[in-house]
Copies of this chain bind each other. A is one copy, B any other.
Amino acid sequence: MRSPLFEAVPNFSEGQDTTKISRIREAVRAVPGVRVLGLHSDPDHNRSVLTFAGEEDPVLSGAVALAKACAADLDLASQSGEHPRMGVLDVLPLVPLEGATMDDAVRLANRVGEALGFLGFPVFLYGSAATASHRRALPDVRRGGYEGLASRIEDPLWKPDHGPYTLDPHRGAVAVGARPFLVAFNAYLDTHDVEVARAVARRVRESGGGLPAVRALGFGVGGRAQVSMNLTDLEQTPIPVALEAVRSASADHGATVESTELVGLAPLEAILETARYYLGLRELDAHHVLESRLYGSSDPRSL
């Protein structure tokens, strides 16, 4: 049996200086047992998203190495960008992967929060790791960015969970959370009318009374209307269910889905569920996938 695995998807406040960005990524990559899965830097927002994974202790060590590298290389006081940020290491969500539960991710978030607190970062736990309901939603935690946080850190409701109760203007604070795996899935319509995409997005998203665990927005991308979705809980709304809702809502506007795209990674289970859904396959799991059997953790002793 393999040990439980976790993914960390930290956002840090540098999206332009490739030397600094590389140095920060290398600090994480150097941690034994950590696998860096992706790095996406956005110069306009002047921030980067790093994705790494591993077992609990390596991910904890990776988070510590990351926080030290951000503190050493970045300075919030001289940083600016479109995206509201509250720290050099801004947000650090921890996601349970194979063999791990949300409780495991919450425990890891607490360990990471404690360690970052020792390093001198004020730490706010959010998501499933939040210690109060008003601190659960990330937008609430980082409302107003560094400046907003500075104005309320004296408020007992906004006392950091770990670390100092004061803000260092150079490194700021960090939000450490636990959340489910998130799939970013976009549908392109056969129209350039962004209003159609917006109307479809309003219909399918949870906040509009649509599908649970679906966030959606309409955009114009490359001359095509795009319905951009975040699926935050695939057990509640898997990819095919989201897509069929988009297809149906689009049809009501005389549009069809021309193509789709997956941004970033999806768990194997999401792909298997898609095959089950459309093929009418009653049973299909990772054990049916050759590569999972070749590299997976299953013990074939019973065969």
Q: Which bracket fits the contact residues of A?
A: 35 or more
Contact B266 A290 (CB under 8 A): yes
Residues of B within 8 A of A289 (CB): 265-268, 271
CA distance A148 to B294 in the complex (A): 38
Output the nearest chain B residue to A282 by Cβ-Cβ distance: B259
Residue among B35, B239, B280 making CB contact with A294, cutoff 8 Å: B35
Residue among B39, B239, B284 making CB contact with A279, cutoff 8 Å: B239
Contact A260 B279 (CB under 8 A): yes
Does residue A98 face the partner (Cβ distance < 8 Å to B)?
yes
CA distance A173 to B280 in the complex (A): 42
CA distance A275 to B277 in the complex (A): 10
CA distance A195 to B267 in the complex (A): 41
Output the nearest chain B residue to A181 by Cβ-Cβ distance: B290
Contact B293 A265 (CB under 8 A): yes
Contact A294 B97 (CB under 8 A): yes
Contact B274 A262 (CB under 8 A): no
Indicate with 1 or 0, residue by residue over A285-303, a CB within 8 angstroms of chain B CB atoms.
0101111111110001001
Contact A35 B300 (CB under 8 A): yes
